[in-house]
Amino acid sequence: MTLLILAAVALGAGIATVLFGAERRRLALAIGLIGSLVVLALALVMPDTDSLIVGGVGMVSTPVVRAMAVAWSASLAVLGLLEIAVGGRPTVVGPSLIGLAVAGLALATRDPASSMAALAAGGVAGVLVPGIAGWLDAPNMPSRLPTTNRGTLAILGSGLLGLGVIAWGASAAGPLGAGGGPVAVEPGAQLSLSLALLVIVAAVAIRTGLIPLHVWAARFMEGVSPLAIPAAFAWGSAAFVLVALDWSQVALGPAAAGDAERWLIILLAMTSVVLGGLAAMVHDDVEHVLGYSILADAGVAVLAFASLDPGVVAAARNWLVASATVKTALAAWASVVRTTYGGHRLDDLGGWARHSPALGIAFAGILVAAIGLPNMALFQARTDLVSSAMPGIGPVVALVIAAMPAIYLGRIAIAGLAPVSPAVAAGMPGRPRWRGGRAAGWSGGPVTQAIRAVPGELRANRAPLMALGVVALAVMALLTATGGAGG
């Protein structure tokens, strides 16, 4: 029941935020922030196991649903505050709340077709709203509208493809037969199962923007606020992959992945992992680093389809929730750096960590969470996913994959420790400071003076306060990377 209330609040607040966003920014942001705080409170009190029947379908609140709701809503509350501080059109909280509502319902419901339809419908706002805002903000870049168009088609198309394969699987003459579970392995049935698996993986590839289907995703990420990226890619994709994985595991079973299919899936996933990781290493633009690292993370998750083993699916749950939290923190860091220093290329960001120690501490936390330590859930999940797909060499490959964030985030960290560049020096002050002055034109008592001084102090310390928000997200990333999603 708590989940239903959470979804209703999130959906209502999200739609209201999107509708008011165009004309009344402050009202929209207030609704979004209050809504995200209420949703966070509901997620915290939501029981681990709760079930009810809605519309003829059982809805079960599992630890994974709760972990995702808590992590996403907590991140969202901080992103809402950062969106207020960063300024611009409100494109983050509204779509994220809608995405959170449908993701919670989709993961809880026991009917995969309902889940897929809901995810397709709820995921569009995460691309459409920031995409159109990015296009409106850049009149000299008309290509952003076609990119948004392709993005919405990818979200809807992947959902429709998923619906199609789920329907095929549920049909009387489909690969599942009518017995309520996977059919006996015979050549024809095996072919059907394998095809169904490949189609659902194709839907996942389209939704997550895996290489070589990444062009729209890469261009989309260039044209929107970094704060909007987690809802569209990290969290939205995570929910989609989880639903697809659950369906594949229950409906198709491990027998669906024959040798040829397994290698095809591994090839697709590793292409994104390797090329995405390399692209993140060579790019100087921190927003490109963010985008390609999200694609690489999605590639790791897709490896779960290569075996569909229950243990691996549990690892995928941990990986998806933890990596989404880490990338949310990285997106917030990128957005705050851009707002504070006006640049997003490493050449312009020399000495950013020296200039803003709080941002440096937050980035150190993000770095540790992204790489993981051997006893962390994220590290173990990555090792399990890679090892299950590639027995024998898996642990070594997992270590190589773990080294990738060390390199591409390490480059950013090294730039932060370099001498302070002129661009960074000209940015907003990164250290907290107390103005200590009286509010202009006011002559009340000391308490009144102090209250009147708050807005001025907030404005003067905007950059350190934003950095504090990133620190909070980095702590969340570390906690989720350590504890996982209860998968």
Write the binding mask 385 to 404 for another protein: x where contact by CB under 8 A, - elsewhere: --------------------
450 binds another protein (CB under 8 A): no
Return the range that interacts with another protein (CB under 8 A); candidates 35-43, 120-128, 350-358, 459-467: 120-128
Does residue 184 touch another protein according to CB under 8 A? no
Which amino acid is it at 124?
Answer: V
* C-alpha torsion 249→250→254→259, nearest 10: -70
Q: Is 441 in the site for another protein (CB under 8 A)?
A: no
Closest to 83 (Cα-Cα) out of 335, 406, 269: 335
Q: Counting contacts by CB under 8 A, is residue 154 touching another protein?
A: no
Query: Site residues for another protein, window 249-268 (CB under 8 A)?
Result: 251
Q: Which stretch binds another protein (CB under 8 A): 48-56, 229-237, 382-390, 463-471?
A: 48-56
Cα 330–chain centre separation: 10
- How near is the Cβ of 8 to another protein at its closest, in Å? 13
Residue 486's Cβ-side half-sphere holds a number of Cα atoms within 13 Å equal to 13
91 binds another protein (CB under 8 A): no
Among positions 47, 87, 146, 455, the unique one binding another protein when judged by CB under 8 A: 146
Q: Residue 109, interface with another protein (CB under 8 A)?
A: yes
Q: Does 164 bind another protein (CB under 8 A)?
A: yes
User: Strand 57-61 to strand 50-54: parallel, antiparallel, or no bridges (unpaired)?
Assistant: antiparallel
Contact status: 479 vs another protein (CB under 8 A) = no
Among the listed residues 79, 74, 100, the one whose alpha carbon sits nearest the alpha carbon of residue 90:
79
Least separation in angstroms between CB 80 and another protein: 23
Q: Which of 45, 173, 440, 447 binds another protein (CB under 8 A)?
A: 173
Q: How far apart are the first and last CA of the chain?
A: 22
Q: Which is nearer to another protein, 121 or 406 (CB)?
A: 121
Q: Rounded to whole angstroms, how far apart are CA atoms 438 and 320?
A: 49
- Where residue 224 falls (left for φ over 0; alpha for ψ -120 to 50; beta otherwise) is beta
Q: Which is nearer to another protein, 75 or 115 (CB)?
A: 115
Q: Is there binding between residue 174 and another protein (CB under 8 A)?
A: yes
111/104 Cα distance (integer angstroms) = 13
Counting residues that bind another protein (by CB under 8 A) gives 46
The full length of the chain comes to 487
- Tell me the angle at which helices 286-302 and 259-282 cross, rounded to the nearest 10 degrees: 170
Q: Which is nearer to another protein, 124 or 472 (CB)?
A: 124
The answer to the question of residue 22 lying near another protein (CB under 8 A) is no
Contact with another protein (CB under 8 A) among 29, 33, 117, 257: 117
Of the residues 17, 91, 96, 114, which one makes contact with another protein according to CB under 8 A: 114
Residue 5 is a binding residue for another protein (CB under 8 A): no
1 touches another protein by CB under 8 A: no
Q: How far apart are CA 102 and CA 44, in angstroms?
A: 18
> Per-residue DSSP letters for 323-376?
HHHHHHHHHHHHHHHHHHHS--BGGG-TTHHHH-HHHHHHHHHHHHHHH--TTS
With binding defined as CB under 8 A, does residue 180 bind another protein? Answer: yes
Shortest CB 34 distance to another protein, Å: 24
Name every residue whose Cβ is closer than 8 Å to that of residue 41 and which is 6 or more positions away in sequence. none
Identify the residue among 149, 271, 449, 482 touching another protein (CB under 8 A).
149
Rounded CA-CA distance 182/253 in Å is: 7
Residue 17 as a binder of another protein (CB under 8 A): the answer is no
Task: Identify which of residues 77 and 98 has a Cβ nearer to another protein in the complex.
Answer: 98
**Token pair listed for 186:** 């015979």
Interface with another protein, residue 167, by CB under 8 A: yes
- Does position 197 interact with another protein (CB under 8 A)? The reply is no
Interior angle at CA 277, CA 273 and CA 281, nearest 5: 175
With contacts defined by CB under 8 A, name the span among 140-148, 431-439, 442-450, 456-464 that binds another protein. Answer: 140-148
Nearest to 36 by CA among 123, 86, 94: 94
Among 44, 49, 171, 407, binds another protein (CB under 8 A): 171
Q: Is residue 185 a contact residue for another protein (CB under 8 A)?
A: no
Cα–Cα distance measured from residue 390 to residue 442, given in angstroms and rounded to the nearest whole number: 70
**HSE-up (13 A, CA, CB side) for residue 100:** 41
Q: Give me the residues that bind another protein (CB under 8 A), please.
A: 54-57, 109, 111, 113-115, 117-118, 120-122, 124, 128, 132, 135, 142, 145-146, 148-149, 152-153, 156, 159-160, 163-164, 166-174, 176-181, 251
